[in-house]
Amino acid sequence: MNIKETFSQASNSLKANKIRSALTLLALVIGVFSVIVSTTAVAVLDNFFTNTMSILGSDVITVQRNPAVQMGPRDASLRNRKRINFDDAEELEERMNIGEGLSPLETFSFTKVEFKDEETEPNVRIRGGNKEYFANNAYEIEDGRNFNDEDIQYARQVAIIGKDVQTEIFKTEYPLQKVIRIDGRPYTVIAILEKKGQIFGQSFDNMVVIPYTAGINAYGGRNRDIAIQLRAPQITKMEETIDEVVGIMRVIRGVNPVDENDFEITTNDSLSGTFDTFTGILYLAGFLVGGITLLGAGIGVMNIMLVSVTERTREIGVRKAVGATRKAIVNQFLAETIFICQLGGLVGLIAGVGVGNLMAVWIETEAVIPPSSLFFSFFGMLVIGLVFGVYPAFKASKLDPIESLRYE
């Protein structure tokens, strides 16, 4: 009996018992779906994270009071850490020899921006920075000029605006050298940033950057809790730069030699490591849930095939009487099991990838079809079909043809 004929008979047998086959198929689909949907959603997040890491250059180092990503309950000791403030940033810049491109990172306000009779929604991020801010955060200036040393030194009220702000309030005029108002204070627009896009519905273009010294004048608080960004001169000097920054910050903050750092150093690599741990947990959880479901589905498939053997005892007897070998009987029942498992795998794969990629729609990134999903849906279901189909197939092949023909 050739493969085509074997699967043809398997298909006809499944069609003859539609409800039973459908219930068995449903259990398999749910099992495969639960695995594929979780792995697809995690793969989308992984791909999204990889793409958005370009927000920071690979050589950017961030110093902040608390970890960028915290998993589990927050350590009480973190709440007692001293703030990292503007004075710390300025002292670090003076002392460091290897690191370069230091810029404070602080959001002074979320407010509306006004120009004549136009105004934005009151959700524009007002950030303070210096001329290094844009390189550290992968922004490009579309038109105009960057901040200069005098802007920072004299706390000039100048501003560089994101594309969303330009679109919303400069509908008929070009922004350069126009005066906007932020929380009642006038700022002259000196540059426009290129569009950068958004993540999780949060736009990177809905912001205005002002000199951090102007932000201190407007909103107060040199002792604000800020982050500090800087760059290694080249990627091969990342560790050397981090060591220098750690040493200087410990001196600035008066950390005892025997005590641990009371601040965090974050790089792309450290964020990637944290995210890999997180996605690994999600992958494992998905496989555990799906594995348990598939185990139940596999047992259900075996039971259904045992029932099928009993119901078709007379058919098996007729086939043996006309010359069917034990191998042919085993092949037929294994083919039926594998056929329904592969069908369940295919439906579960399509549904899982489709639903998993709803995550891509939500966070506005490209869809992903994980290669592991294709492998699992085919080879995984092949293994399940073989494992849970062997016993019913061998039981059918061992039936006595004489007794089987008498079976009612």
Q: Provide the b/e sequence for 339-374 (b: ≥16 CB within 10 Å).
A: bbbbbbbebbbebbbeebbebbeeeebebbebeebe
Task: Name the more confident of 407 and 396.
Answer: 396
**135-144, 225-234, 339-348: which has the minimum mean pLDDT?**
339-348
| Cα→Cα distances 51→9, 72, 141, 224, 386, Å | 49, 26, 21, 31, 40
pLDDT recorded at residue 170: 94
DSSP string, 215-269: HHHHH--TT---EEEEE-SSGGGHHHHHHHHHHHHHHHTT--TTSPPSSEEE-HH
Residue 55: pLDDT above 60?
A: no
* Backbone dihedral angles phi then psi of residue 100, each to the nearest 5 degrees: -150, 170
Q: Is 303 helix (H, G, I), strand (E, B) or coil?
A: helix
Q: Which two tokens stand for residue 240?
A: 């050397």
Q: Are residues 109 and 168 in contact, defined by beta-carbon separation less than 8 angstroms?
A: no
- Top-confidence residue, 230 or 76: 230
For residue 294, give every residue at least 6 positions away whose Cβ sits within 8 Å of its Cβ, in sequence order, or none. 28, 31, 32, 35, 380, 384
* Strand 113-115 with 185-193, pairing: unpaired
pLDDT digits over 100-136, tens only? 999 999 999 999 999 999 999 999 999 999 999 999 9
Give the mean pLDDT of 397-408: 66
- Full-prediction pTM beyond 0.75? no
**In the block, residue with structure tokens 């007002």:** 126
Q: What six digits make up the tokens of 152?
A: 């920072």
Give the whole-number percent of the chain exceeding pLDDT 70. Answer: 86
Phi and psi for 145 in degrees, rounded to 5? Answer: -125, 160
The per-residue pLDDT for range 310-338, each reduced to its tens digit, is 777 777 777 777 777 777 778 777 877 88
Hey, where are the domains in the chain? 3-52+272-406, 82-262
Q: What stretch of H or E contains 313?
A: helix 313-321
C-alpha to C-alpha distance for 66 and 256, rounded to whole angstroms: 19
pLDDT of res. 404: 60
Mean pLDDT across 191-202: 81
If you compute the radius of gyration of the chain from its CA atoms, what whole number of angstroms results?
Answer: 32
Average pLDDT rounded to a whole number, residues 30-55: 75
Please tell me which of 4-18, 77-91, 93-107, 334-348 the model is most confident about, judged by mean pLDDT: 93-107
